[in-house]
């Protein structure tokens, strides 16, 4: 089956899946799927704890699948006792809370010990339904994949898995002093790659990594780009109005960091680059504001105040503004208000924040890693930086300082570039992957029983 869906240069191809000779015996999309998100709830606010791009991905994808008549039930771990067992997120999308382990204070690293309890909860929910209730399991991240593997086998349905991030890829590009991902995760991911009927990768590069690092069958990997909510993230009433709402000076140069504060995301590189800029151009001090919007997460929780201390050590505490995570609508305002979004990550399976900022009309300076070269059009909607040298980031930011009209020009190109990343495209491509997985699964079952 030809499955490499799009090879990306500057242009973007709508993901397509081709079936040689069509589907003999007819084919159908699933009516209802079980979506698994063990470690992060679609109801949590992105930018807090372990909630990030994956939460946004699951919520938006589920809503758009429901809009094309595929019902979605999302299983996630209950993190407080007050949660009802079921919450309707939107028509056709149900969130089911599963009791697994203590509600509070359980780190993502401790969750593997709760997978058995979580699987039990999923099985209990299924046991109350008629046979054939779910047509397919779609798991997100390796913890969910472990549960999905068992559930799909038990229910006799296909398993579609999205990695989002991979241990081997993260470990190959660790930030200095960051903790490597444990061997248990590598083993778990390897098992899931073998067990899945289909793997969904965010980019062609991620598809290649699945094949290279995990020996995935290239024929089972489909590339589907995540989307962006283009109604929410748009230029709207512009930079000046957004700055007025957020209390930012109108004429300031504002390089923004938005995301979880942890070594992997490298917010320290933006701070170091800002210090280099001020060394080169001391007059900037009165007209530069560096907002850091997000909360500590992952290995960043070990030193939650590390970034504040770094700003003080670099002598730039007066220009850096720390802001706790905000809801999606206010985040869109931060993007509009910024001169440029800075994403110096060490590893990024896609970098949804980069697309959101561009959709809001803001250029991006990003590390040339993972999916970011797909998300950002170098020299058109922003600049891609090889490596993590603060001097290189300072030089890219300096181009906006020296030529302020670049912010508007690249911002307009960024908004145009982001238009091709709507969630409807992603949902329709995902439903094609489901259809292919179901067709092959049925054919496989028939050949085994034939």
Which secondary-structure segment (H or E) carries 90?
strand 86-90
- Domain of 160 in residue numbering reads as 32-227+423-448
**Is residue 142 located within the same domain as residue 252?**
no
Confirm whether residue 240 is marked as ligand binding.
Answer: no
Residue 46 lies in a domain: yes
Confirm whether residue 336 is marked as ligand binding.
Answer: yes
Confirm whether residue 4 is marked as ligand binding.
Answer: no
Alpha-helix residue ranges (DSSP H) falling in 6-93: 53-67
pTM, to two decimals: 0.77
How many whole angstroms separate alpha carbon 277 and alpha carbon 157?
A: 56
How many whole angstroms separate alpha carbon 370 and alpha carbon 71?
A: 31
Confirm whether residue 265 is marked as ligand binding.
Answer: yes
Beta strands 86-90 and 93-98 are antiparallel
Residue 60 lies in a domain: yes
Residues 6+ apart with CB under 8 A from 345: 264, 265, 266, 351, 366, 367, 369, 370, 372
- Number of domains the chain is built from: 2
Tokens, residue 208: 């290649």
**Is residue 410 located within the same domain as residue 442?**
no
Confirm whether residue 430 is marked as ligand binding.
Answer: no
Residue 7 lies in a domain: no
Confirm whether residue 54 is marked as ligand binding.
Answer: yes
Residue 49 lies in a domain: yes
Residue 353 lies in a domain: yes
Confirm whether residue 57 is marked as ligand binding.
Answer: no
Residue 6 lies in a domain: no
Confirm whether residue 55 is marked as ligand binding.
Answer: yes
**52 and 259 in contact (C-beta within 8 Å)?**
yes
> pLDDT of the chain along its 450 residues, tens only?
333 333 333 333 334 444 433 444 457 899 999 999 998 888 875 554 555 678 888 999 999 999 999 999 999 998 888 889 999 999 999 999 999 888 777 787 888 889 999 999 999 999 999 989 999 999 999 999 999 999 999 999 999 999 988 999 888 878 787 889 999 999 999 999 999 999 999 889 899 999 999 999 999 999 999 888 899 999 999 999 999 999 999 999 999 999 888 787 899 999 999 999 999 999 999 999 999 998 876 666 667 688 999 999 999 999 999 999 888 899 999 999 999 999 999 888 778 899 999 999 999 999 999 889 989 999 999 999 999 999 999 999 999 999 999 999 999 999 999 998 989 999 999 999 999 999 999 988 887 776
Confirm whether residue 254 is marked as ligand binding.
Answer: no
**Is residue 181 located within the same domain as residue 268?**
no
- Tokens 């060394």 identify what position? 279
Confirm whether residue 282 is marked as ligand binding.
Answer: no
Confirm whether residue 328 is marked as ligand binding.
Answer: no
**Is residue 312 located within the same domain as residue 411?**
yes
Tokens, residue 203: 């980019």
Residue 24 lies in a domain: no
Name the strands in the sheet holding 198-201, side by side, starting at the edge strand that comes first in the sequence: 86-90, 93-98, 71-77, 32-37, 136-140, 159-162, 198-201, 221-223
Confirm whether residue 141 is marked as ligand binding.
Answer: yes
Confirm whether residue 362 is marked as ligand binding.
Answer: yes
**Is residue 265 located within the same domain as residue 407?**
yes
**316 and 339 in contact (C-beta within 8 Å)?**
no
Confirm whether residue 215 is marked as ligand binding.
Answer: no
Confirm whether residue 309 is marked as ligand binding.
Answer: no
Confirm whether residue 165 is marked as ligand binding.
Answer: yes
**Is residue 288 located within the same domain as residue 407?**
yes
Residue 26 lies in a domain: no
**Is residue 285 located within the same domain as residue 297?**
yes
- Tokens 């748009």 identify what position? 234
**203 and 8 in contact (C-beta within 8 Å)?**
yes
Q: Residue 443 sits in a domain of what CATH number? A: 3.40.50.2000
**Is residue 185 located within the same domain as residue 260?**
no
Confirm whether residue 52 is marked as ligand binding.
Answer: yes
pLDDT score for 264:
78
**Is residue 63 located within the same domain as residue 77?**
yes
How many whole angstroms separate alpha carbon 349 and alpha carbon 352?
A: 9
**Is residue 147 located within the same domain as residue 294?**
no
**Is residue 414 located within the same domain as residue 437?**
no
**Is residue 345 located within the same domain as residue 203?**
no
Confirm whether residue 326 is marked as ligand binding.
Answer: yes
**97 and 84 in contact (C-beta within 8 Å)?**
yes
Beta bridge partners of 413: none
């Amino acid at each position: 089956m030809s499955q490499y869906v799009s090879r990306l240069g500057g242009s973007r191809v709508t993901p397509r899946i081709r079936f040689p000779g069509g589907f003999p015996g007819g084919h159908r999309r699933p009516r209802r799927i079980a979506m698994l998100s063990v470690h992060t709830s679609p109801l949590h606010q992105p930018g807090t704890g372990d909630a990030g791009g994956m939460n946004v991905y699951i919520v938006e994808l589920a809503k758009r699948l429901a809009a094309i008549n595929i019902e979605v039930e999302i299983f996630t771990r209950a993190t407080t006792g007050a949660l009802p067992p079921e919450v309707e997120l939107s028509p056709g999308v149900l969130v089911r809370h599963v009791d697994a382990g203590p509600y509070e204070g359980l780190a993502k690293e401790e969750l593997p010990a709760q997978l058995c309890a979580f699987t039990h909860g999923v099985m209990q929910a299924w046991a109350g339904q008629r046979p054939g209730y779910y047509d397919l399991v779609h798991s997100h991240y390796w913890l969910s994949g472990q549960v999905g593997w068992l559930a799909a086998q038990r229910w006799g349905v296909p398993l579609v898995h999205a990695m989002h991030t991979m241990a081997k890829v993260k470990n190959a590009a660790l930030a200095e002093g960051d903790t490597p991902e444990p061997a248990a995760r590598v083993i778990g991911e390897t098992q899931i790659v073998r067990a899945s009927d289909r793997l969904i990768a965010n980019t062609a590069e991620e598809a290649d990594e699945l094949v290279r690092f995990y020996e995935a069958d290239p024929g089972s990997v489909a590339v589907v780009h995540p989307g962006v909510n283009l109604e929410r993230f748009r230029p709207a009433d512009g930079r000046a109005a957004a700055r007025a709402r957020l209390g930012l000076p109108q004429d300031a140069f504002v390089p923004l960091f938005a995301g979880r504060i942890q070594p992997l995301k490298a917010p320290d590189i933006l701070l170091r680059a800002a210090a280099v800029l001020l060394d080169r151009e001391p007059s900037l001090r009165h007209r530069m504001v560096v907002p850091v919007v997000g909360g500590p997460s992952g290995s960043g929780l070990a030193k939650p105040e590390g970034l504040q201390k770094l700003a003080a050590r670099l002598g730039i505490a007066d220009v850096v503004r720390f802001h706790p995570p905000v809801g999606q609508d206010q985040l869109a305002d931060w993007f509009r208000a910024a001169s440029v979004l800075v994403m110096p990550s060490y590893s990024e399976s896609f970098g949804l924040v980069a697309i959101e900022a561009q959709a809001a009309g803001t250029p991006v300076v990003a590390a040339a890693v993972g999916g970011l070269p797909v998300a950002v059009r170098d020299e058109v909607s922003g600049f891609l930086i090889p490596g993590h040298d603060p001097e290189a980031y300072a030089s890219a930011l300096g181009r906006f300082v020296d030529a302020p009209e670049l912010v508007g020009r690249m911002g307009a190109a960024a908004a145009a570039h982001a238009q091709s990343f709507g969630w409807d495209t992603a949902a329709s491509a995902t439903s094609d992957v489901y259809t292919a997985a179901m067709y092959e699964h049925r054919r496989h079952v028939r050949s085994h029983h034939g």
